[in-house]
Chains A and B, each alone.
Chain A
Amino acid sequence: MTDQTPLVRIEGVSKHFGDTVALDNLTLDIARGEFVTFLGPSGCGKSTTLRILGGFERPTSGRVILDGKDVTTQPPEKRQVNMVFQDYALFPHMTVKQNISFGLELKGMDKRGIQRRSDEIMAFLELSAFGDRYPGQLSGGQRQRVALARALAPNPALLLLDEPLGALDAKLRGQVQQELKSIQRRTNKTFFFVTHDQEEALTMSDRIVVMNQGKVEQDGTPEDLYFHPASRFVAEFIGETNLLSGEMRGHEDGAVVMDWFGQTLRGHAPAGAPRTGAPITASVRLEKLGFHAERPATANAVQGKVVGKTFLGSRMAVDLMIEDAQGATLRAFVDAETGQTVGADPVWVGWDSDSMAVLRD
């Protein structure tokens, strides 16, 4: 039987550091078993949220409810929350096993219980061979697993992860991302992950909360955020995109109609449509632009001249100049073979109204 009440409820939480507002009236629920990622640039309030959940900062106002109990003023040691630190914070004078047992000891578990649980978690994370080593004798990836094991051992209701992959090299990072996701699925724990790396967020999360200047920019699934960004900030922060500035014209068959340098385009507005006549920005992902020899039947179609190509291996980025739109440019991804053939003649590019999101500024 699954419990439908949210595991964490953040109610109107603000945090001020002097005159700086780190977190501005955040309200949010986190469901049980969810992998939720807080994504944003440094200083956006994501780490502050994490530290408030961990008990290391006290909010200036608002409440934090964990599993139905108000924990706003509870110190970290009283919370059923554990954290994987950015620098792992392994205790250098303790072995791997002692590190992992530390939390169990302090929970008042008896010797046999500690032994059983630490063996279990070390086997689960493939650390059994390293039990007697000191953190100084481990590689970066192994340390990261020890930090995870130590945080998971006391069986927390919520696991906080503070950019734990930042210290790993690119190759290892991809592997650990898969591992983390699979660990989360197997343990069925609620993970609260903080990162500034959009790719990391897209790969692992069930849900992404994009933060900017202490506020939530957008809250949704990775697909939602990628294809239907609500704001310019989200569109630019996640992936690469074409931003089209134009003017709002009105609605037609459930689509939003806009004028883009004399071209009439159709899109959708996930964050609500602005009034007619207002200046607006719309976003189309590079891979949503299709190349055609003839004018396609898509909702939007413009003719362009190829002005630049960038070879990216499996695909190619093509820069187009649209003469009918006062020389505005678009960038598109095509597969490498198509990319090689286009160039000499003008091409048609087309995209659906569903692929173009009108943004909130």
Chain B
Amino acid sequence: MMRGNRIFLTCFYWAFVLYVFIPLILMITMGFKDSKFIGFPIRSWTLDWYASVFSNTEILSTFGYSVTIAVLATLISVFVGTWIAVLLEGRKFWGRMVIMGLTVMPALVPGIISAIAFRIYARLLGIEPGMGAIVWSHAVHTVPFVALVVMARLSTLPKSQIEAARDLGADPLIAFVRITLPYLIPAIIGASIFCMLISFDDFVRSFFLGGYEPTLPVLIFAKLRSGMSPEINAIATVALVLTAAIGIWAERFTRRMNKDS
């Protein structure tokens, strides 16, 4: 009986994994097909699509543009998010829950709604669509993730650490820079990677707030409209491999840092 159950559960698990990964596997496979048309059967293989992606300056500059936006948005988000976490963690004051709620909200608002809201707001403020607007919206969207991750880490910092630093002659600022900040580094790095991936992946905000220059997801979307081609599969595969590699590395890195301290 137990044995039957186990076999059933194992099969079910692998069926689920296949269900989840078959689309990705298909997408990757089609990027190597030597034909303009996506679909089976595949008669011959090629790396031409990759060659064309890596020699296409438009795609490469769009990729750079997306990365730049991700880095800038992350810098802002980490700064603001850490600030909020330090302000809120372990303190009781009037309005704490209000600030907390407002901090978390951007993560919960549907992308399309916040994108439209940003668009209207940007026009009111006279901000041109383009990189600045996209960075701004991505930063707002990712602040809650930073704040929550950093707060979680901060809550595990024993109070005695700061008191020991003060006891040994550190004023509150020195204690923060030399004790609190190093303690938060794993959380901050983890949150940064996460923010960058969210920003890199974002379509709706980038679409609504973008100027003439598209981000990578917007470019892929534009290309899709003019017809599916294995070139898109190649772009997507490169993006997939890069983000997966960074995500796995970040996960392992933060886990190792957490274990050390």
Contact = CB atoms under 8 A, between A and B. Distances in A.
B96 interface: no
Contact of A93 (B171, B174, B183): B183
Given A89-B160, A92-B260, A102 B167 contact: no
A354 to B, nearest CB: 44
Nearest to B257: A93
Interface in A54-109: 54-56, 75-77, 81-83, 85-87, 89-93, 102-103, 106-107
A102 B163 contact: no
B166 A85 contact: no
Given A77-B170, A83-B167, 4 more contacts: A54-B167, A76-B163, A77-B167, A107-B169
Q: Is the interface of B mostly helix, strand, loop or mixed?
A: helix
Nearest to A85: B160
Interface residues of A, number: 26
Contact of A77 (B158, B161, B171): B171
Contacts of B163: 54, 56, 76, 83, 85, 89
6 contacts: A54-B167, A77-B167, A77-B168, A81-B167, A89-B158, A91-B165
B199 to A, nearest CB: 29
Interface string B172-190: 0010001100110000000
A19 B163 CA distance: 25
A76 B179 contact: no
Contacts of B182: 93
B183 to A, nearest CB: 7
A246 interface: no
Interface of A: 54-56, 75-77, 81-83, 85-87, 89-93, 102-103, 106-107, 134, 136, 150-151, 154
Contacts of B174: 106
Contacts of A56: 163, 166
B261 interface: yes
Interface in B152-168: 158, 160-161, 163-168
A82 B260 contact: no
B160 A87 contact: yes
A136 B169 contact: no
Contact of A83 (B164, B170, B179): B164
A92 B158 CA distance: 11
A106 B169 contact: yes
A87 B158 CA distance: 9
Given A106-B174, A136-B260, A136-B261, A89 B169 contact: no
A90 B165 CA distance: 9
A18 B221 CA distance: 62
A254 B217 CA distance: 98
A106 to B, nearest CB: 3
B42 to A, nearest CB: 53
The 9 closest A-B pairs by CB, nearest first: A106-B169, A103-B168, A89-B164, A89-B160, A92-B261, A76-B166, A93-B182, A85-B160, A77-B169
